[in-house]
Chain A
Amino acid sequence: MSATPDELKYSADHVWIRMEDDFIGVCGLTDHAQEQLTDIVFVELPEIDTDVRQGERLAVVESVKATTNVNAPVSGRIVEVNTALEDSPGVINADPYGDGWIFKIDVKGRVEYDDLMDADQYRAQVE
């Protein structure tokens, strides 16, 4: 049974987002996604200062079994990436909502953010 924290918002592509303040959102892959992938062996991170549109692929996560794209949950600009994942990609499996965060985005699409799924809606989608 995968975890889906109530305080986060979710995209249909299995990306969660948590607002650090009024502007910056921290994002990563959901517990459901990492479970499906199994052992993650490689993360290709986006470049800082990249502008992205909602749904655009900005990172790639590869496991022993499969490769998945990580798409931008909202439009914005990448301000920080979790470089620790370069040496320890498995942290996404171990702590997908904490140390396994993948990128931080300066959110431009406020309406897009409001329209994202809440925890109940995401749970309904994946179960």
Chain B
Amino acid sequence: MKRIVIIGFGSAGYAAFTAARKTDPKAAITVIDPKARDLMHPCGLPYALEGRADPARLEQDVHLDKAGVIRIRARATRIDADAKRIITDAGDTEGGVPYDAAIICTGSAPVLPPVPGIERLRNRGLYTLATMDDCNRIMERIEGASDCLIIGAGAIGLECAVALRARGRAVHLAEMRDQVLPGVIDADLAAPVAEHLTLRGIAFHLGAAVGEVLGEDAFAGARIGDSRITASLCIAATGFAPHTELARESGIECGPRGIVVDDSLRTALPDVYAAGDCIVAWSVIDKKPVGAKLATSAYKQGTVAGANAAGGAMTYAGTAGAFVTVLGDLEIAGAGYTTEAARAAGYEPVSGKISAPVLPDYIPDGHAITVKILADRATGRLLGAQAVGPAGAAARINVASAAIEFGKTLDDLERVELAYCPAVSEVHDPLLRAADFARRRMPKR
């Protein structure tokens, strides 16, 4: 009877458990995770801050005992590959937890921006947002706060900014790069997003780094470029670092972005796999490492790792990086490379972009959507897609993401017939028109 041990229980760990169970119903599965409750849904945290989700429902038990799983509430500290045992910080597993296969799903943690003295103010008016504790602390601090600062204009920072505005707070947002959602959508699509959010009362400081954080006992404000702002609540949403402590302690090769794995998600240690935020993921387009840490990728990777740990032979092809965020009245979605990332990966991208009404002009109150498609100038191979609009962005990006996943070209994408009726779309959809424009920009054959 195979003994499978899953270390860490988030999206990757949960997917690994499900896949292992399906692949080998007789396997003995153990989950090692320090959380009091089984699962926690961090993507829901900004919604809890806004008051749209009940924070109590972000944590969940999944009755692992009923599934015959042994649950150890502890943190794994080292994998002894010779003895094939996992050492934890819990007293009652002296000698460690034995394994035939282990899966590391230790996730990641937020990093604070490199501002002198910022560590001193952590949890004293200045917070990151990744755990239920973070959520509870912020909810408490919101009560007495009228002015807030968000650091970082990624999806999480922007979602927090919108949440705090929805609760009537004055919100400043500082971002080092010149646009919102840097690295995720192109600057020309980011500009209308920033405009929309500015109209909603978010004061942006783009292209500005936080030089100093102010306050003795608690966060009281910051110096951003040449401006000084006063605020009593700060949320730092400036990226995540993978939890590689266990892997390093165990002699497993890691890079700065995480644990190194092959396409079966095996680490350098025999019978030890890794999945989720803790690994270096790669692009499905060209296998190059990517920084994106998405719940959907973690779930896919966990499935592959769990199946393989149980004796399967799956491979993970890489991520197309499909994502979506809803900010105010805008849905913003993307997949694949941005123009900048495509160039950095060595491509010369060709693009097609359109801003057009989604519905026929005889349907009143139709909205417009902006869609941009990127492809390799030489081959027409799809490299990326982005969409911004009140609705329908994710739906279109999902089609593009599938096409990117399967290595399709602009010609291939244009063949797709999309679902249409006048209440939903137009006969010739903006997604396909954008692909057509990109194709017409390629060198004439």
Contact = CB atoms under 8 A, between A and B. Distances in A.
Contacts of B353: 41, 87
Interface in B64-88: none
Contacts, number: 21
Contact of A41 (B355, B441, B444): B355
Contacts of B356: 39, 41, 64
A47 interface: yes
Contacts of B357: 64
B354 A41 contact: yes
Interface string B354-366: 1111000000000
Nearest to B352: A42
A47 B433 contact: no
Contacts of A62: 437
B18 to A, nearest CB: 45
Contacts of B355: 39, 41
B354 A86 contact: no
A115 to B, nearest CB: 32
B437 to A, nearest CB: 5
A35 interface: no
A87 B188 contact: yes
B343 interface: no
Contacts of B440: 42, 44
Given A41-B354, A41-B433, A42-B354, A47 B444 contact: yes
Contact of B437 (A39, A42, A47, A64): A42
Interface string B418-444: 000000000000000100010011001
Contacts of A47: 444
B188 A86 contact: no
Chain B interface residue number, banded: 10 to 19
Nearest to B354: A41
Interface string A60-94: 00101000000000000000000000110000000
Q: Which of B352, B355, B437, B444 has the most CB of A within 10 A?
A: B437
B366 to A, nearest CB: 11
A97 B93 CA distance: 80
Contacts of B188: 87
Contacts of B354: 41-42
A39 B433 CA distance: 14
Nearest to A60: B440
A62 B353 CA distance: 12
A86 B188 CA distance: 13
B343 to A, nearest CB: 15
Contacts of A64: 356-357
B361 to A, nearest CB: 8
A62 B354 CA distance: 10
Nearest to B357: A64
Contact of A86 (B433, B441, B444): B441
A44 B188 CA distance: 20
Interface in A22-56: 39, 41-42, 44, 47
Contacts of A42: 352, 354, 433, 437, 440
A29 to B, nearest CB: 18
Contacts of B352: 42
Contacts of A87: 188, 353
Contacts of A39: 355-356
Contacts of B441: 86
Interface string A91-104: 00000000000000
Interface in B334-388: 352-357
A78 to B, nearest CB: 14
A82 to B, nearest CB: 15
Nearest to B437: A42
Nearest to B350: A86
Nearest to B356: A64
Contacts of B437: 41-42, 62
Interface of A: 39, 41-42, 44, 47, 62, 64, 86-87
21 contacts: A39-B355, A39-B356, A41-B353, A41-B354, A41-B355, A41-B356, A41-B433, A41-B437, A42-B352, A42-B354, A42-B433, A42-B437, A42-B440, A44-B440, A47-B444, A62-B437, A64-B356, A64-B357, A86-B441, A87-B188, A87-B353
Given A42-B352, A42-B437, A42-B440, 10 more contacts: A39-B355, A39-B356, A41-B354, A41-B356, A41-B433, A42-B433, A44-B440, A64-B356, A64-B357, A86-B441
Interface of B: 188, 352-357, 433, 437, 440-441, 444
The 7 A-B residue pairs with the shortest CB-CB distance in the complex, in nearest-first order? A42-B437, A64-B356, A41-B354, A44-B440, A41-B356, A64-B357, A41-B355
